[in-house]
Amino acid sequence: MNVQSLPELIPQLSPFKWYGKVTRVIGLMIESKGPQASIGDLCYITTGKNSMTRVRAEVVGFRDEFVLLMPLNGISDIAPGSLVEATGRPLEIKIGTQLIGSIVDGCGELLTKESLPKGLSNFQTDNDPPNPIKRPRIKELMSLGVRSIDSLFTVGKGQRIGIFAGSGVGKSTLLSMLARNSEADVNIIALIGERGREVKDFIERDLGEEGLKRSIVVVATSDQPALMRIKGAMTATAIAEYFRQQGMDVNLMMDSVTRVAMAQREIGLAIGEPPTSKGYTPSVFAMLPRLLERSGTDEKGSITAFYTVLVDGDDLNEPISDAVRGILDGHLVLDRKLAQKGQFPAINVLKSVSRVMSDIVTEDHRKAAERLRYFVSVYEDNEDLINIGAYKKGSSPEIDQAIMMQPQIVSFLKQSTDENSTIDQSIQTLIKMLGNGGRS
Every domain of the chain with CATH number 3.40.50.12240 lies at: 93-358
CA distance 344 to 350: 16
Q: What is the structure's pLDDT at 440?
A: 41
pLDDT band at 402 (very low <50, low <70, confident <90, very high): very high
pLDDT exceeds 70 at position 82: yes
Backbone angles phi, psi at 30, to 5 degrees: -105, 125
- How many CB atoms are closer than 10 A to CB 175? 25
162-185 average pLDDT score: 90
Average pLDDT, the chain: 89
pLDDT tens across 174-216, in order?
999 999 999 999 999 999 998 888 888 888 888 888 889 999 9
Cα radius of gyration rounded to whole Å, the chain: 25
CA distance 160 to 138: 11
Q: What is the structure's pLDDT at 88?
A: 87
Element housing 372 (H / E): helix 363-381
Q: Nearest Cα to 142, choosing from 235, 234, 248?
A: 248
Backbone angles phi, psi at 357, to 5 degrees: -60, -45
pLDDT exceeds 70 at position 49: no
The answer to whether 41 and 88 have CB atoms below 8 angstroms apart is yes
373-377 average pLDDT score: 95
159-185 average pLDDT score: 90
DSSP reduced 3-state for 370: helix
CA distance 312 to 166: 6
Pick the most confident of 13-17, 36-40, 140-144, 303-307. Answer: 303-307
Q: What is the structure's pLDDT at 65?
A: 87
Its pTM stands at: 0.90
The separation between CA 96 and the C-alpha centre of its own chain, rounded to angstroms, equals 20
CATH topology of domain 17-90: Thrombin, subunit H (2.40.10)
Q: Which residues pair with 42 in a beta bridge?
A: 58
pLDDT tens across 218-256, in order?
999 998 989 999 999 999 999 999 999 999 999 999 998
CA distance 84 to 76: 15
Q: Nearest Cα to 104, choosing from 208, 239, 291?
A: 239
> How far, in Å, are 391, 397, 401 from residue 394 at the CA level?
9, 6, 10
CA distance 318 to 164: 11
Q: Does domain 364-435 have CATH number 3.10.28.10?
A: no
Orientation angle between helical segments 282-292 and 226-245, nearest 10 degrees? 20
Q: Does domain 93-358 have CATH number 3.20.20.70?
A: no
Q: What is the structure's pLDDT at 437?
A: 47
Q: What is the structure's pLDDT at 15?
A: 67
Q: What is the structure's pLDDT at 160?
A: 96
CA distance 296 to 293: 7
Q: What is the structure's pLDDT at 169?
A: 87
**148, amino acid identity:** S
Q: Nearest Cα to 373, choosing from 148, 141, 144, 156?
A: 148
43-47, 73-77, 116-120, 224-228: segment of lowest average pLDDT: 73-77
DSSP reduced 3-state for 119: coil
Every domain of the chain with CATH number 1.20.1270.330 lies at: 364-435
pLDDT exceeds 60 at position 90: yes
- How many CB atoms are closer than 10 A to CB 173? 17
255-276 average pLDDT score: 91
Q: pLDDT over 90 for what percent of the chain?
A: 62
The answer to whether 146 and 268 have CB atoms below 8 angstroms apart is no
CA distance 75 to 24: 12
CA distance 30 to 75: 9
46-60, 331-345, 402-416: segment of lowest average pLDDT: 46-60
Q: What is the structure's pLDDT at 1?
A: 46
Q: What is the structure's pLDDT at 185?
A: 94
113-124 average pLDDT score: 89
